[in-house]
Chains A and B, each alone.
Chain A
């Protein structure tokens, strides 16, 4: 970190507009994170139309703060009502809720806030260090390397979440297919536009996103309109004692590193990180049999990991334009709508953006300790807003958000249709996250393939003649077929 870095950071810390937006992002993030059904991905999707009215640095500060805080916010409801506010917090409920049932909700929340913050902060430093390095390497990346890397990103979809790998891949391919709508960059030929000029520039990313994340969830929520939720009473939230901290410090450190690494992998985000963080905390623990009954290590493990994955996920997103998680894919989409192109160029020409992200994630990670500790009491009440009131309001925001972007009704229809199709697909086990990954990677993967073929004069073997592309193609094959190959081998031997 040179003087320049400090200078950039100081500019951000002294910019009241930015700090205000980061505060708003953190607050909204914790809130939506805490509301079951509303996730940070959805909140960012809903906010995207607004961010277009902001300067790039302001919009990215808002989105990244929301991303960090939303990941933490999920733990509040996981602990208090045993319903994770967002998927990454699922593992937190295993030990958080039992602890809260014993009347120690305050302690559970305190541990969660501190672990999340430390995990997040470690990963933000990893982001600041690794992203520029990766971006420098990216200078030697030509179209073949980008193609192989994007292919690797798609292949990683096989292992995200708990759904079946094949269905995740199908989702990714559907996303890629959606991205081919419009005028082909290489030849200028129209595809799937059916002569409709509104579709020449492709299906807009934001309406699809809002539809897939918010509208399909709204249909889903209509099944739950009569569920009553009950929050556990909460005593004063307190910071963990020194003794507690000593007990969980190794867990936090381990989970932070695991989370950062998993975050860096394309497509793998907080949910996976939290699961592995929990399992590792259990495996290394002195008394693993106590897990599930309210062990504080069982809260620290997943919480440090899922927040560490946020910083990690931004590394490939910013350095290469390959999203590190579904939420990062949305942020990437938002940057692209603003006309920014992630990659080495971003770091050379617009370092203030990188530092903007870095600073806002850092500030958000510190801010939510306070919001979490002092606001948990109120947030837990907000999370009890009946579905019958909350979701109709969300629907209005979706409609106006999709419309306001280009003031076109076509976008509203795209959003509604995407939502209904998204619900049906979800019912078949195809979740929105891989679709969004495919949609974001679509143009990159297709144009880099076409560009590579020109470079190789039409020979597909060219991909194997360049070490980096060979490596990523090999890794893609492993992640596509590795599991079944391993199973077959085991059977034979």
Chain B
């Protein structure tokens, strides 16, 4: 409802012909399902921004594929600054593997919100009292290591740790930190590298036991937990969460965004969030500082992926089940069942009756034409022609009704979608 009201305001503004940015809600496109650190950080920041600026900003999750889904979605949007990509090292790993249509050089940094170290955690009732214990266990039985995404930062951190410590790891990918917390609580996995933001609550309540911090120095909230370096394993990984826009975005919009984000991140709401997560003000970086760092991180990610052999050989990620196994099983089952159904119904109906008689064929043709009409003639004219065609084909004799329906419907639809919901339509007559 709030967005509707906002859109009404937007109509007023656009009527006066002003070019203001942002003129509709800003979307932060994340890759994580709700409950994880990336999601919580983005939502808190959006809240902080809205509390001081007159800007409507929301979080739009596009989960899956190690951030590739989110990045490709971002890439397809109009690059006017209303779509902002939330990035974590996970995205950079996917980019380094060449999986996304987005390239690091296409992006420009707006701000960094967190620099959140990873902490290796196990369940309180597990026998792993320290990191060495876990590593030795892994030498005989692979450690079941929960990760947020395939090739995500926590995956790479685990894999590098296993490499340095000469132990074995079975990676169990989930679609976000929230799911890892659930599965570590239910002890379906042995260990995970979680951010403090994701699991501090569980540590405080004594459900999870932190074994090692993957940061250069110990962190203030967990003073008794050693770093991996102290234990002799040189593994340093943190979840950096920052925001970027496409390089095609107009410069003045980028500047506006940097100002807006800076004000939000320095707001008390976000500061409280950082403190509650065991982070400091140093987590935040604006503009160039972040822009340079993201490029460095990308280079680090690429080197780590090379070391693990993921870039050279992506099949390394397959564990026990090939990605083609499930679709193949489905196709074979569908074929077998269809043959069975055909055999059972062999007497009932002429087999190749697809159910197309004359009326239905005409309707189907009009349906196919409707796609072309809509994309070429645009919403108003295209839909009008479509309505006339379909009603005519169906034998609408009352010409008055025919034209009335064909004229009013497209205009109503245009008004609702274009003005109220801000949909931009295709078509040469509506470019």
Contact = CB atoms under 8 A, between A and B. Distances in A.
A467 interface: no
Nearest to A458: B320
Contact of A183 (B33, B99, B417): B99
Q: Which of B371, B401, B409 has the most A CB atoms < 10 Å from its CB?
A: B371
B282 interface: no
A223 B362 CA distance: 11
A374 to B, nearest CB: 27
Interface string A24-41: 000000000000000000
Given A53-B421, A173-B337, A388-B396, A408 B320 contact: no
Contacts of B314: 187-189
B19 interface: no
A420 interface: yes
A412 to B, nearest CB: 5
Contacts of A198: 76
Contacts of A400: 379, 383, 413, 417, 423
Contacts of A397: 413
A219 B2 CA distance: 38
7 contacts: A173-B330, A177-B331, A188-B68, A420-B364, A451-B172, A454-B319, A454-B320
Contact of B341 (A166, A197, A219): A166
Q: Is the interface of B mostly helix, strand, loop or mixed?
A: helix
A185 interface: yes
A222 B417 CA distance: 27
A412 B379 CA distance: 13
A177 B327 contact: yes
Given A53-B4, A55-B1, A451-B173, A345 B35 contact: yes
A427 B348 CA distance: 13
Query: Which 3 pairs of residues, A with B, have the shortest CB-CB distance?
Result: A142-B188, A427-B355, A339-B61
Contact of B367 (A215, A388, A450): A215
B425 to A, nearest CB: 7
B72 A201 contact: yes
Interface residues on chain A, size class: 35 or more
A395 B370 contact: yes
A200 B69 contact: yes
B321 A393 contact: no
Contacts of B35: 341, 345, 349
Contacts of A170: 334, 337-338, 341
Interface in A188-236: 188-189, 191-192, 197-198, 200-202, 215, 218-219, 222-223, 225-226
Given A225-B394, A406-B76, A453-B321, A416 B368 contact: yes
A392 B330 contact: no
B182 to A, nearest CB: 7
Q: Which of A55, A225, A454 has the most B CB atoms < 10 Å from its CB?
A: A454
Interface in B180-200: 182-183, 185-186, 188-189
A140 interface: yes
A396 interface: yes
A423 interface: yes
Given A142-B186, A404-B421, A392 B375 contact: no
Q: Which of B34, B340, B395 has the most A CB atoms < 10 Å from its CB?
A: B34
Interface string A423-467: 110110100000000000001001101110111011000000000
Contact of B101 (A164, A169, A197, A408): A197
A176 interface: yes
B371 A339 contact: no
Interface string A127-147: 000000000000111111000
A200 B367 contact: no
Contacts of B409: 392-393, 396
Contact of A188 (B97, B379, B396, B417): B97
Interface string B393-431: 011100001000100011001000100010111100000
Given A197-B72, A219-B364, A186 B327 contact: no
Contacts of B149: 185
A223 B65 CA distance: 43
Contact of B334 (A174, A226, A396, A420): A174
A454 B66 CA distance: 18
A403 B170 contact: no
Contacts of A191: 323-324, 327
Interface stretch (B111-119, B209-217, B384-392): B384-392
Contacts of B175: 185, 447
B174 interface: yes
